[in-house]
Amino acid sequence: MAFITEDDIERACVQVLMKELGYDEHLNLHHKTETDANKLFGRADTRGVVRLDQLAASLRKLNPHAPEAILHDALKLLTEPRPGMNRFEANRAVTQLLQKGQDLPGAKNAKGEAVLTRVRYVDFEHPANNHFAVVQQLTIRGKATRRPDLLVFVNGLPLVFVELKNAVEDTRQAYDKNLTDYRRDIGQLFDYNLVAVLSNAYVTKVGSHTADWEQFFNWEKIADENEAVVPQDETDIERVMRALFRKETLLDLLENFVLFYANRAKIVAKNHQYLGVNNAVAALAKRQELAGKLGVFWHTQGSGKSFSMALFIQKVRKRLRGGDNLKFVLVTDRDDLEDQLWKTFVRSGLLDEKQPARATSAAHLGQLVKAGAPIIFTLIQKFKNPTGKGGGLFPELTAQGEDYVILVDEAHRSQYKDLGDNMRRAFRGASYLAFTGTPLLDAVETTKEWFGGYVSQYNFQESVLDGSTVPLYYHNRVPQMQLQNDALNEEFAEIMADENLSDEQKERLTRKYANVVTVITDNDRLDTVAQDIVGHFPHRGYLGKGMVVSLDKPTAVKMYDKVVTSWKQRLKELQGQINSAAPNSPEWVALKRTQQWMKATEMAVVVSEEAEEEQKFDKLGLNIRPHRALMNKTWGDDHATIEDRFREPTSPLRLVFVCAKWLTGFDAPTVSTLYLDKPLQNHTLMQTIARANRVAVALDEAGAVATEATLMPIAKTNGLIVDYYGLMAGGRLEKALAKYAKDKNTEEGEKKDYPAEDFEALLGHLDASIGEAVKFLDKQGLSLAEVLDSKATFDKLSQLDDMADALSKTDELKKEFGVYQTAVTSFYQACKPDILTEELLKGGGPYLGRYRRTKDALEYVRRIMGRQTDDSGNFDGARAKADSLIDEAIVAQGGGKGYSINTSGQEINLSSIDLEKLQTRFQERPHKNLAITDMVAFLQDRTQQLLNRNVGRVDLAQKLHEIIQQYNTASSDVEAFFAALKDYLSKLQEEDKRSAAEGLSEEELEIFDLLFVGELKQAEKDRVKLAAQHLLAKLEDNATKKHVLTPDWHKNPQLQMKVRDMIGGVLDAELPEEGYTKPVFLEKRDAVYEHLLNQATLGARYWA
């Protein structure tokens, strides 16, 4: 991997934007003074994020006939503070203003009525009519001062946030270390944000600024789904620039591809949704030419198909000529799917919850059509012939069928019989678009006849490569006693796909498949399966949720009972193991963690309700009543359902037992394991296994949602399908999946990429990741094999310390090692629990038998390095206690007791550090690189402490950054690096004592530094000190706090003016005339005011 710095990436991005995409302006504010930067940017102070002059100019250009007063009101409406809104609400309000414009009242007409003038903020029809600018390194002040790498402005508004990392740093650091902090510290920037882009040049992710990291995605195709991925002569960030940052694409995304979901999440279309929806809209535009057959929209399960439907309708209404007159009917074949789709539209704001839209019967469907409902949801079953099979025809519901667009979900299940005929009779002349999560199978020709060919394709492989879904692996764990011949009979699987069997289906089961049912539901067999689930589920790496899929409802209840029984037995065994383990040993801690997780875990049966179900279960000796009560229960003020609880990552409801319900259309991202014990085939098989392919949040070792403080977060890298039925035996699954694997670019005879791989492939990935880590270490002259082969524990630890020291030469080496180590750990976690007994594994390569030791060794090295550095990837917060280097250099105080420190934030008396002793201790250190990184961490912490007390020390912090940058290369002299750090520490000691030397408190010194100018005589300098002291006393005066510095003064323009005047009054009376001309006086007054305002906004100081 070639090393590319952030500066290199910035320059490359700017070049693409300016020279290739024709942006209008480029500002680089990196080395500008605050005054010059504000002037060039066009703002009054560093809190501003909008280029007001440019916005005003764009408003005049886009609205040439609007009076100046109205344009002034439009600008104020867009940029004024929104104190009553949170950041999500503010972003939604701004986005809607940009999308729709605003009608503003102007002069009155003859009737005395104010005439409304529509003001546009953006010209969506003519992208070149807008002003596009890219700004580098804009300093923004909020709760803290931050400086984004790149911002893209449209008409003076910061629509795109870009954070860059160097090439050896994980792109995720741009999210964890930058975007997360920026959202907190300079939230005003994100009021206007459309999308955030994070990159290290080679890996680039795009997403809503509100999204979790897991919901950031690739954007690598410009205008055609068939485009190849990034070519060799292009970095990933360059491709994203050329694809996403085109003027027309950004504006299209802003206008048509944003949804605000359920008052909590901003949804920005992913690349495949953007291209697919635009293809579908283009097809609708030529619907007459296509005879209403708009095509088939195949986007694999988990890729956001429901949102794609919503985005399609949103864009048609906004941009297609006559689109606002079209009506839409969304057709599904299951109640739960309709409910999910309806909720998506309501929560996305496309439909009012109280608006009649869901057809409860064929007659009600007709009423909705007659009433002109703009969006209708119906089941395909509503199109049954009114007088039964063979009798009568379904009526035509409207004479204006051409005004309707019918969106059919999973069309393959019900569209080719009478129901499909009747639907087309009801909406004669309508246009039809089929949505599916699985590709067309044997009915290709029939499907084309009804809907046309593919209008958009996004297959399994593309989804995984883009990061929209995770890969799936399957594990064959069929009980040995089970017969595996002819079990996967298509007719048997077709019957069992229906949860509520008809009398005819039951008779066929009894007549033809009694032997198969007997084997599958054998009591001893189910005990074996239940015990295996209990042995597997609590010991996985990623402790996501699980689903046990049984043959039928009674078997689902039986499995629940058996798993609960085995679960209790396992808890007893765990307690015995805990009692035998040494307290607080690693084994004891791991056992206790598993025990606590198992005790907290809840389980539930989830099956559909049917008539007389209690009697049916009673006859089988089973009790459905407590399960039904749980299924119908709601929790909390929000009336959360069992579905809501299972979807919620933090809920202890972790394992459900189903047979058909929730196998299609149900989305719970943290589901990571499916236990299949039922015959499945074709679409049902594909939709079932896709329950585990959703991208989800990382968890910690205890199964809780990971936070920034989590020591070792565990990502959901894959889903696992555990097969107890035999779907995967003898190549059956591959045969079933072969129909799905051929994609739009696969020729006959070519190798296919299946949507699920054998579990042994995971071991192959683990072997490959270890191999890459070994190659990296070899290049550094480090041998992992020698460490693993060492028999002596202390020798091994010494070798690992040496390795950590060698890898600590530069930040780049540390970060690159972190990438390899994280990959090994991730694949190891994905292979649990099977990998815990390596000697029993089948498959595996050269590292079989050494997986655990290899993983532990790499983690140990990472922990040593992570202890001394803030920037430690996924080990944030792992630094336990600082290396004793600085401890030993602290002069003993108070009876000879050493002054022990922790570099994670404890205040330290810098004067107690003996610099010469520090030098001596450094020379004695065998691992000097680790000592350097420890000292850097100490100095960073101490500098931050001083900076927190006085904002004027920012130059001191910049000096430390420059030292680190200067010496942070593999060829740098470690002795010179230490000398520079030691010299910097000396300056810190001087700064730490400066307030006492000046005779001021830290608070007074901060104001003094803000007021001080150039060279002053001692008398004038004393006057400035006095001014600082008197001003601070005034600020802390009770009368001031009661009448001026009230809790919300920073939100009140009148009080803000009073504060500014009060500051001016004190300074006018106290500051000397020498050196303080009127311009200088006003500059200093404003500097103090801005400081107070910033502190009040932070809630830090100057807050009553």
pLDDT band at residue 148 under the 50/70/90 scheme: very high
pLDDT digits (tens, 9 = 90+) for 332-369: 988 888 988 999 999 999 999 999 999 999 999 999 99
Tell me: pLDDT of 877 over 50: no
Q: How much is the average pLDDT of 713-719?
A: 88
CA nearest neighbour of 559 among 544, 571, 547, 545: 547
Give the separation between CA 805 and CA 927, rounded to whole angstroms: 6
Number of neighbouring beta carbons within 10 Å of residue 633: 13
Give the separation between CA 815 and CA 812, rounded to whole angstroms: 5
Q: Can you list the alpha helix ranges (DSSP code H) found in 925-1037? A: 928-949, 954-967, 974-998, 1002-1011, 1018-1035
- At 489 the pLDDT is 55
CA nearest neighbour of 656 among 501, 666, 625, 343: 666
- At 293 the pLDDT is 93
- At 844 the pLDDT is 60
- Chain length of the chain: 1104
Give the separation between CA 496 and CA 499, rounded to whole angstroms: 7
Q: What single-letter amino acid sits at 215? A: Q
Please answer whether residues 673 and 666 qualify as being in contact, where contact means their C-beta atoms are separated by less than 8 angstroms: no
Q: Return the percent helix, strand and coil in the chain, to nearest 5.
A: 50, 10, 35
pLDDT band at residue 961 under the 50/70/90 scheme: confident
523: buried, middle or exposed (CB in 10 Å: 19+, 13-18, 0-12)?
exposed
pLDDT band at residue 751 under the 50/70/90 scheme: very low
Q: At what angle do helices 851-867 and 811-830 cross, to 10 degrees?
A: 140
pLDDT band at residue 899 under the 50/70/90 scheme: very low
Q: At what angle do helices 335-347 and 305-319 cross, to 10 degrees?
A: 50
Question: SS3 of 758, please?
Answer: strand
> Could you tell me which residue, 417 or 1001, shows the higher pLDDT?
1001
> Could you tell me which residue, 626 or 957, shows the higher pLDDT?
626
Q: Torsions phi, psi of 634, nearest 5?
A: -125, 155
Give the separation between CA 1027 and CA 813, rounded to whole angstroms: 50
| Phi-psi category of residue 899: left, alpha or beta, with phi > 0 → left and psi -120 to 50 → alpha | beta
Tell me: pLDDT of 182 over 90: yes
Tell me: pLDDT of 312 over 80: yes
Let me know the angle formed at the C-alpha of 262 by 261 and 264, rounded to the nearest 5 degrees: 80
Please answer whether residues 333 and 380 qualify as being in contact, where contact means their C-beta atoms are separated by less than 8 angstroms: yes
Give the separation between CA 247 and CA 128, rounded to whole angstroms: 7
pLDDT band at residue 935 under the 50/70/90 scheme: confident
Tell me: pLDDT of 485 over 50: no
DSSP 84-128: TS-HHHHHHHHHHHHHH-EEEEEEE-TTSPEEEEEE-S--SS-GG
- Confirm whether 269-466 and 522-698+716-754 share one CATH topology: yes
pLDDT band at residue 91 under the 50/70/90 scheme: very high
Give the separation between CA 300 and CA 436, rounded to whole angstroms: 8
CA nearest neighbour of 273 among 318, 348, 204, 217: 217
Please answer whether residues 790 and 796 qualify as being in contact, where contact means their C-beta atoms are separated by less than 8 angstroms: yes
pLDDT digits (tens, 9 = 90+) for 511-524: 566 667 777 888 99
Please answer whether residues 1001 and 959 qualify as being in contact, where contact means their C-beta atoms are separated by less than 8 angstroms: no
Q: What counts of helices (H) and strands (E) characterise the chain?
A: 42, 25
Tell me: pLDDT of 941 over 90: no
Please answer whether residues 452 and 426 qualify as being in contact, where contact means their C-beta atoms are separated by less than 8 angstroms: no
Tell me: pLDDT of 219 over 90: yes
Q: What single-letter amino acid sits at 922? A: F
pLDDT band at residue 19 under the 50/70/90 scheme: very high
Q: How much is the average pLDDT of 372-386?
A: 90
Tell me: pLDDT of 649 over 50: yes
Tell me: pLDDT of 890 over 50: no
- At 1 the pLDDT is 41
Please answer whether residues 422 and 390 qualify as being in contact, where contact means their C-beta atoms are separated by less than 8 angstroms: no
Structural tokens at position 1019 = 């008398």
Q: How much is the average pLDDT of 592-612?
A: 93
Q: Which of 23-27, 380-384, 495-499, 895-899 has the lowest mean pLDDT?
A: 895-899
Pairing of strands 545-549, 671-676: parallel
> Could you tell me which residue, 1086 or 432, shows the higher pLDDT?
432
Q: Which of 1-5, 151-155, 706-710 has the lowest mean pLDDT?
A: 1-5
Give the separation between CA 890 and CA 880, rounded to whole angstroms: 19
Give the separation between CA 262 and CA 350, rounded to whole angstroms: 11
3-state SS, 315-381, equals HHHHHCCCHHHCEEEEEECCHHHHHHHHHHHHHCCCCCCCCCCECCCHHHHHHHHHCCCCEEEEEHH
Tell me: pLDDT of 443 over 70: no
Q: At what angle do helices 759-779 and 851-867 cross, to 10 degrees?
A: 50
Tell me: pLDDT of 709 over 60: yes
pLDDT digits (tens, 9 = 90+) for 59-88: 999 999 999 999 999 999 999 888 778 899
CA nearest neighbour of 408 among 418, 420, 426: 420
CATH 3.40.190.10 for the 6-258 domain, yes or no? no
Please answer whether residues 684 and 413 qualify as being in contact, where contact means their C-beta atoms are separated by less than 8 angstroms: no
Q: How far apart are the first and last CA of the chain?
A: 54
- At 214 the pLDDT is 87
Q: Which of 314-323, 660-669, 958-967, 1054-1063 has the lowest mean pLDDT?
A: 958-967
Q: Which one of 289-303, 670-684, 904-918 scores highest in mean pLDDT?
A: 289-303
Tell me: pLDDT of 912 over 60: no
Please answer whether residues 250 and 23 qualify as being in contact, where contact means their C-beta atoms are separated by less than 8 angstroms: no
Q: How much is the average pLDDT of 413-423?
A: 73
Tell me: pLDDT of 873 over 90: no
Please answer whether residues 678 and 551 qualify as being in contact, where contact means their C-beta atoms are separated by less than 8 angstroms: yes
Q: Tell me the domain boundaries of the chain.
A: 6-258, 269-466, 522-698+716-754, 760-857, 884-998, 1002-1098
pLDDT digits (tens, 9 = 90+) for 233-264: 678 899 999 999 999 999 999 999 999 998 88
Q: How much is the average pLDDT of 222-235?
A: 78
Q: Can you list the alpha helix ranges (DSSP code H) found in 1036-1074? A: 1038-1043, 1053-1070
Let me know the angle formed at the C-alpha of 213 by 211 and 215, rounded to the nearest 5 degrees: 60
Peptide bond into 586 cis (omega under 30): no
- Average pLDDT value over all residues in the chain: 82
Percent of the chain at pLDDT > 90 equals: 37
- At 895 the pLDDT is 34
Number of neighbouring beta carbons within 10 Å of residue 444: 12
Tell me: pLDDT of 894 over 70: no
Q: Which one of 433-437, 907-911, 966-970 scores highest in mean pLDDT?
A: 433-437
Q: Which of 25-34, 100-109, 884-893 has the lowest mean pLDDT?
A: 884-893
> Could you tell me which residue, 20 or 612, shows the higher pLDDT?
20
- At 630 the pLDDT is 96
H/E stretch holding 673: strand 671-676
Give the separation between CA 473 and CA 827, rounded to whole angstroms: 12
Q: What single-letter amino acid sits at 65? A: H
Q: Which one of 89-93, 611-615, 848-852 scores highest in mean pLDDT?
A: 89-93
Give the separation between CA 9 and CA 151, rounded to whole angstroms: 14
CA nearest neighbour of 939 among 922, 927, 917, 956: 956
Long-range contacts of 252-257 (CB under 8 A, 24+ apart): 252/124, 252/278, 253/194, 253/195, 254/95, 254/98, 254/99, 254/122, 254/124, 254/159, 254/194, 255/99, 255/122, 255/124, 255/318, 255/319, 256/311, 256/314, 256/315, 256/318, 256/319, 257/311, 257/315
- At 1089 the pLDDT is 85
CA nearest neighbour of 407 among 427, 384, 391: 427
CATH 3.30.930.10 for the 269-466 domain, yes or no? no
pTM of the predicted protein model: 0.75
Which of 3.30.360.10, 3.30.230.10, 3.40.50.970, 3.40.50.300 is the CATH number of 522-698+716-754?
3.40.50.300
Please answer whether residues 640 and 589 qualify as being in contact, where contact means their C-beta atoms are separated by less than 8 angstroms: no
Q: What single-letter amino acid sits at 411? A: A
- At 537 the pLDDT is 95
Structural tokens at position 411 = 């069309």
Q: Which of 305-319, 395-409, 762-776, 1044-1058 has the lowest mean pLDDT?
A: 1044-1058
Q: What single-letter amino acid sits at 476? A: N
pLDDT band at residue 878 under the 50/70/90 scheme: very low
Give the separation between CA 362 and CA 703, rounded to whole angstroms: 47
